[in-house]
Amino acid sequence: MNHHSSLSPRPFPFLSPDLTHQERTMHAVITGAAGFIGSHLAERLIADGWTVTGIDAFTDYYAREDKEANLAGLLQEERFTLVEGDIAHIDLAPLFADRPVVFHLAAQAGVRGSFGESFDGYVHDNLIGTQRILEHALAAGCPRVAMASSSSVYGDAEAYPCLEGVTPTRPRSPYGATKRMCEDLADIYRGLGLSVTSLRYFTVYGPRQRPDMAMRRLCEAANGGARFTLNGDGLQSRDFTYVLDAVDATVRAGTVANVPPILNVGGGEEATMLEVIATIGELAGAPLDIDSAADGKGDVRRTAADTGLARAALGWQPTMGLREGLSRQLEWVRARQLVLAVR
């Protein structure tokens, strides 16, 4: 698999003349750098020769230790710096000055947790956080922001696959509504001259996946962890996207010219939950015992992405098959549990 883009980032001539060539062309900011996708993105950029400033607040949605483990390799890298802070509060101006691209991934994720009192956190991280990122990127003269949106903006569509600009956006969860509003904010700042692209990620999986996500919990159940509870009949399906494929699309969205405002990023490997459960059982060598529960609140029946626009605009295509990707995630869960066992 080749995840190294042949498209090199372009220099931005209006940045300060005092900067070194490297700083002018290849110093990125990543928000949410300690998270699942953000840490893989940072590793990819470092491997490509970039300098990276990562920002993360280590929110308590899941354990700080998990996020520190995500960063372990990066913190050994001279070209990686971590700023611990909340994007809704910290002084972003010095961090954004003269940076050619901001990758904005920090958010409160998760569909079910967005109902009830915890919506407050979604408003803070997703709405206030994103508005500040866009405001300060514009003020600092950052030419490009590539930011994480979500397939959840579509809700239950009338026709599949979902197509940007054609399929109506009708989120079914407060989380999806915040992501939809972030896209609206992006539109407002685009109108003011900021080049910003919202990437609608479709269920991203692989090593370091968040502990609340189904595949992570299934891999843990297959490895002696808590039994998995399946919501609904198991015939709900998702367009699963391997994390390095999502990262490759993200890097390209931050570096190629003329990126459309909204892009679907889907792996093209649609599968039902029952199929995923069966595959993980096969990979683990024994079928999984599953408990059943009602439909998950806010969960949609199906997601499927038309990725024609992302393929054309970014020269991107997903390369990881679902079975191989799941086997890599299972291996990662096993290795992690071995480390935890000897502590």
Ligand X SMILES: NC(=O)c1ccc[n+]([C@@H]2O[C@H](COP(=O)([O-])OP(=O)(O)OC[C@H]3O[C@@H](n4cnc5c(N)ncnc54)[C@H](O)[C@@H]3O)[C@@H](O)[C@H]2O)c1
Catalytic residue among 61, 122, 175, 242: 175
Instruction: Give min distance, CB of 1 to ligand X, in A.
Output: 20
In which residue are the tokens 């685009």 written?
190
Residues near ligand X (CB under 6 A): 31-32, 34-38, 55-59, 61, 67, 86-88, 105-109, 125, 129, 148, 150, 201, 203-204, 210
Instruction: List the structure tokens of 221.
Output: 């159940």
Comparing every residue's Cβ against ligand X, the nearest one is: 35
Asked about 201 being catalytic, the answer comes back as no
Instruction: Give min distance, CB of 239 to ligand X, in A.
Output: 11
* Residue partners of 340: CB distance under 8 A and separation at least 6: none
Residue 133: closest CA among 180, 98, 95: 95
CA distance 112 to 274: 20
DSSP letters, 94-127, are HHHTT-SEEEE------SGGGSGGGHHHHIIIII
Instruction: Give min distance, CB of 104 to ligand X, in A.
Output: 8
56 or 183: CB nearest ligand X: 56
106 or 162: CB nearest ligand X: 106
From residue 217, how far is each of 46, 68, 85, 211 by CA, in Å? Answer: 30, 20, 29, 7
Instruction: Give min distance, CB of 61 to ligand X, in A.
Output: 6
CA distance 139 to 210: 33
DSSP 8-state secondary structure symbol assigned to residue 162: B
Known catalytic residues are 175
